[in-house]
Amino acid sequence: MSRWKKIALLLLFILIVGFTGSFIATDYFSIFVGFEQNYSPTVKLISSFLASIIALIIGKDGLSREDTIMLGIAIPLASIGDIFITTHNYWIENQIIFFIGAGFFIISVIILMLRQSRFFTFLKENTFKRLILGLSLFIILIAIVVIFYEELVKRNLLLVTIIYGGLVILLLWSGIAAFFYKLFPETNRLLIFIGNISYFLMELTGQIYNLRVYGLSEIGFILSWAFYTPALIMIAFSGYKFE
């Protein structure tokens, strides 16, 4: 990797971290002190766009051509989804806009899931044991649907929660598999593992916000992006050669 590229990546990382801290603080004061602002959503979208740049400039410094292409598609798709979801959350509360954003995220998650699991080739060995681990993770989704069933139906979120939630569970499983079954080099699989846990926590806290859970919705709103930006950075950087 060239010196200038290293400097560019470092600057992108510093910018995203700085923006993340600023929009978390802004969201907190906006919600709990009470004032209208457009800084937070704008900076969130900029941070997401910068994470996309990290993925798009991997080039010859990637693990493989296939891996680089998949990341170069998945991360920008998530950034496009952010535009719609952020618009829904801040400016125009419209379910059509929300579902369009969800559509982009679904495609992004599918690509990331296939990339991280190496198209689930890890199931060729110890198939039953590894399959049981993956299926056991769905207990989390089942619990959410059971506990919040009425709210999900009321807000027309039941189907999208089952579909997208199932994909997020599979994404989490692929991240766990990438780490424990050594599907990637050491540094890369660690970034994938932590990034996917952070992504899962983002979705969990985001769902708390979407369901307007009394007493927790505001915290969920703040935490969702606090988890999301680190997830994007780590997954984007996981495409680079380190060893």
SS3 40: helix
Query: Is 206 among the domain residues?
Result: yes
Question: Per the domain annotation, does 144 fall within a domain?
Answer: yes
pLDDT bucket at 1, cuts 50 / 70 / 90:
confident
Question: What percent of the chain has a predicted confidence (pLDDT) above 90?
Answer: 83
Range of the domain at 119: 3-237
Predicted pLDDT of residue 66: 97
Q: Is residue 242 part of a domain?
A: no
Query: What residues are paired with 131 via a beta bridge?
Result: none
How confident is the prediction for the chain on average, in pLDDT? Answer: 94
Rounded Cα–Cα distance for residues 126 and 189 (Å): 20
pLDDT of residue 211: 82
Pairwise CA distance, residues 168 & 134, whole Å: 12
Q: Tell me the per-residue pLDDT of 215-232, one tens digit each, with 9 for 90 and over.
A: 788 899 899 999 999 999
pLDDT above 80 (res 183): yes
CB atoms within 10 A of CB 159: 10
Q: What percent of the chain clears pLDDT 70, i.e. is strictly above it?
A: 100
Residue 112 belongs to a domain: yes
User: Which pLDDT belongs to residue 95?
Assistant: 87
E strand or H helix that includes residue 203: helix 186-210
Question: What is this structure's pTM?
Answer: 0.94
- Give the total number of structural domains in the chain: 1
Helix (H, G, I), strand (E, B) or coil at 62: strand
Termini Cα distance of the chain: 12
